[in-house]
Every structure is written in C-alpha cells, then in structure tokens.
Structure 1
Amino acid sequence: MAKTLVGALALASLPSAFGFRDTSPFFLFSTSALNINGNDAAIAQASTITSQVTQVLDKCPSKTYIVVHQEGVSSADYLDDLSAARLGHYMGGEHADVKSAMAVSEIVGAVDAHSILERLQSRCGAKMEQLEHSKAESAFPHSDEPRVVYYSLPPPLAKDRATALDKSHTLLENIIINLDSPDYTVIYTTTPQAESQLDDTLQNHYTYEMEDSFNEAVHMELKRDAVSHQRKNTTVKEGALFERYQYLSPGLFMGITAMIPLVVILYVGLTAITNLEVSYFAFSKEMGPAAQRRQ
C-alpha cells in the first residue's frame, strides 16, 4: 500500500520533493501511544526533530527500540510503489498494533541517530545490539531488559534504488516479526544524497521519455475534436441584428447627451431673434415739422 505511505509522508507532489536538494525524510512508528505530532509535517529542522524524539523517548515507552539509519536518500525515493510498499503498511495504519506514527518528508540536515541511541541507553537502560544481516532471519533471544537494535544501510545505487530500499524494508519487517514481544518503537533516520548521487539519480530515473501510450485511433479522435472546436469558435453568431451588434456605444451616448442642451439653447436663441417685431416706419426718414425743428 504505497499510496497510503504517500499520504502519511505528506508528499503533495514530486516537484516538491526535488525542491530541496539537502533534505531527507524521517519516520517513526510505535506500538505505544506516544505524545507526538500526528499531523505529518512537510519540512523541519533536524535539531528540532531530534529534540522532540528524545523527549518522547525519555519516558521509555517500549521494550525494544529499532533505530534504522539509511544513507543517501530523498523523499522522492519513497514515492515508488516498490520501495515504499512495506514501510507503508506500518505508517499507513495497516498494522493494528501500531498506535503512533510520525513522518516528516523534508528534514533539513540529518537527525542525530547516535544521540538517540545514547539517550536510550542512559535514560532507559537499554542494551545496545548491533544487527547483523544474518541475524534478522532468526528470532531474537528473549530478554526482560530494554534493548536497542541498530543497523545502518549504505546509500542505494542509482540504477536500482527501489529494489535496494525494498530489501532494507524487508530486513526491518523481519526484525519486527522475530521480536519476542510486540512492544517496539522504530526510529527511521536518513541522510540526504550527495551531489554526485543526486545527479546520477536524476539522470537514470527521471529522464523524460516519449511514450505512445495511445493508439492511432485515439489521436485521430483528438484531432477531430480540435478541428470541431476551431470551427465552433469561427461560427457566425445567430440572432437578431441588434443582438449581434452594438450601435450605441458609451462614447456616442455621452456625445448625444451633451448635444441635447446645446440644441435647446440654440433653439431658444433663434426663437428669440425671430420673434423680434419692428415697424416699417422705424427705418423711414421723418419729413414732418418735428424734423424741421431739429434742424
């Protein structure tokens, strides 16, 4: 169930996994109800996660502690169906005995696994057991004292990363199955890839290749649909004449509105001039006695 792990990791998308070249994921799950942040974080500082984990483990919640240190990985490696399947069972709630889980997809720096080991030994009195690969196939001897199982894994090869991670998760699963008591806490720490490893990974796994996943008939249907869409866009609109064209624009409407008072003023002026009444005698020469007295 790798899809479940993807949700637990809070890896929203593949580009976000490549947004940070110096980060790597962190996982923790336990059969005890730990006081940890169940809401998976997207990014965090390694010192913050180390401090939070050590504070939780100070209460010695489990009998067996499994500390896994995986070198040279990124959060994108755990998006693969092959590499993330087994780990996804524990992080995604597939096991009923797992009551607490925590995942951070981007850890800036590296979580100090050795400080966690020393804290478990000093605080909980856990006995350190360095794991050998052959020992994972057999049952662990019974022990009433707390113990810490630690093993470190080399960085996976660029050409076969998913298979290498799947083998490491198989080893982790065998350790859990062979425990004498179903009371454990797994702390899965990782370190980022080096620049050379990251370049090789990108070159081998994420090179774009053109694949014809559709047959020719589907391509022809897509072309026909595109042609019909273009014809639909170029079709003349139907409807009445005044529905298809705009004859009264805002500028023309404002011009007409301004012309109305001007025309009214002109009309009033012309009307006033034409209503003037002057008699014909006002323009005739006076010939009576009054005109002679003025002279």
Structure 2
Amino acid sequence: MQLSLLTAAVLPLAVQAFSDSSPFVLFSTSELGDVENNAQLQTSTSVISTAKRLLSSCPTERYLIVSQPNAHAVDIRGSSGESCNMPNLCQFAASTSVKSRFDVAEVIGQISMQPLVDFVEASCLEQGKAAKVEKVELNRLSSIKEATKRKEMLADNDHELGQLLERLTGGFTVLLFSDPNEFKAYEPEFVEAVHMDLKRAELDSEKAGKKKDNGTYDHRPLFEKYQFFTPGVFMALISLVIMLSILAVGLKALSSLEVSYGAFNKDMGPAAQKKQN
C-alpha cells in the first residue's frame, strides 16, 4: 500500500479540502494486501469497509485503536505540507517494521471506536487467535480559531501517543481516526415570564403565618409579611381616579345649568294673544 498522508518528514497534501472532514490512518507490521481505493477523499462508509476487509484475517496480535477528536488532516501534515505536526506518529508510520499502510486525508462522515473494536475482536475470535485490543481516546483539540492552544494540545497528544507506540512489541496494527464534528443537540432556553414582584409576593405568602424550622413564628411586621399593593391594585386605583374625575366634571357641568322657572310657563301677555289672532 502507498503512504499518501504520513511520511517521516514530508506530507504531500498541503490544503485542507473540507472543514468537516477528518483523517484516517492505519498501519501494520503485517502484509494486509492491496487497497482498491486510494482516493484521499472518501466517505466514512467506504473507509470503514476497506479497514474491515484488511483486518478481517486478524493479521497481528496487538491492536492500538486511537481516537483524536476534532482533528483535521492539516493538523497532522502541517499547513505548509513540509512538516509533520505529530512526529511520533509519522516516525512510527514510516518505520521499516511497518509493511502495510492505509490512510485517507479527508473522510466525510463519522467513525466510531467501539464498532471497530468489536469487529477486530470478533474477527480474531473467528480465526482462533488471541488478540489484545487497546483503546485510546486522546484529548479533544480546541477550536481552530485558537491556533496556538490547538497546536500545544496536539503536541501533548502526540507525546502520549508516542509513549504508547514505544510499548508495542511484536506484530501490531495501529488505527487513528477522528470525529471533527462538534454538533450539539439544541437545548432551548426559556425565560421565565414571572415578574420579580410576583415571585416575592408568592414567597412572602408562603412564609406568612407559618412556623419556621426552629419552631418559632414569623414576627416580621405586617407589611413585610404581606403585599397589599400589587401592580394590579395600583392600576385599578389609577383607573378609578380617572373615571371619578370624568364623573365629577359631568356632574359639575349639569349643576352649572341656570334656567329660570318662568321659562317653562305659558306666555299669556298681549303679544301672545295677538299672535294667536
């Protein structure tokens, strides 16, 4: 198999194609056979299918399955493509003891650890071989915006991985992959539509007239235990004042009318008799 993502010092691909993709690396001290699809952009289904086919014969006695959450291919090969940001991984992948390699720079989709572990254990059990499978989950890398912190975390993870690789003896197979997605389930946050004064009134009403935990009564003043003037009461009082003001103006207007009693009597004077004639 041809190594296209990892070498001792030179990494051929220099541009990260997709921000939601992740690398996949597999190398072994045994001959795993040829890989039909060497494309550096594949779906997770295709990559997992190829990996299972290569591991179906249980080629080695030891397996190291490593998950590096939130990692991209550019994290391993460097932005310039002229260096390796994980030197321990690159050194072991390019060592002379490694006879087979399979890597994909851009994997679209999610790859989970436990299904791969279960497949390896089941395949070795079918072959009648005793295999030791070790699972390692490295620390999740920080956001891409925090480049300095992300690089430091990657270096620490590579150091930890290097210590694990040094302990591998005999025939071994290493798998490294990542799930770069940081999707989180939507959790709506609702603002409680209750005013603080209503909350305070509710709490005060619960405390009023009740005994405290020590067996004594609440001796607070009356206006501290109960709330007499709520916003509703104030609104009602203001409305009542306005309506009473309108009523008072109307009554005053009616009382100001001045009409003499003679205005309603029939005029019997000479002028009225002349009009009738």
Shorter-chain TM-score tier = 0.5 to 0.7
**Shift in CA distance, 47/82, structure 1 to aligned 2, threshold 3 Å:** closer
Distance 2:6 2:32 in 1: 24
TM-score under structure 2 length normalisation: 0.55
TM-score under structure 1 length normalisation: 0.52
1:83 aligns with 2:85: yes
Secondary structure at the aligned position of 2:115 is classed as helix
Q: Which residue of 1 aligns with 2:33?
A: 35
**Shift in CA distance, 63/33, structure 1 to aligned 2, threshold 3 Å:** same
Kept in 2: contact 1:36–1:102 (CA 8 A): no
Aligned-pair identity (%): 24
The letter for the 2-side match of 1:44 is Q
**Shift in CA distance, 160/36, structure 1 to aligned 2, threshold 3 Å:** farther
Choose the corresponding residue for 2:133, options 144, 148, 172. 148
Q: Which residue of 1 aligns with 2:109?
A: 109
1:67 aligns with 2:65: yes
Structure 2 unaligned blocks of 5 or more? 185-277
Kept in 1: contact 2:9–2:84 (CA 8 A): no
**Shift in CA distance, 193/79, structure 1 to aligned 2, threshold 3 Å:** farther
The letter for the 2-side match of 1:4 is T
Q: Once superposed, which parts of structure 1, at least 4 consecutive aligned residues long, lie more than 6 Å away?
A: none
Deviations 1:76-124 (A, max 9, x none): 1113346232222133x2x111111121110001223221111112221
Q: Which residue of 2 aligns with 1:219?
A: none
Q: Which residue of 2 aligns with 1:165?
A: 154
The letter for the 2-side match of 1:167 is D
Count of matched residue positions in the alignment of Structure 1 and Structure 2? 170
Distance 1:6 1:44 in 2: 24
Larger helix proportion of the pair: 1
Deviations 1:173-213 (A, max 9, x none): 2222223x3210001011124389xxxxxxxxxxxxxxxxx
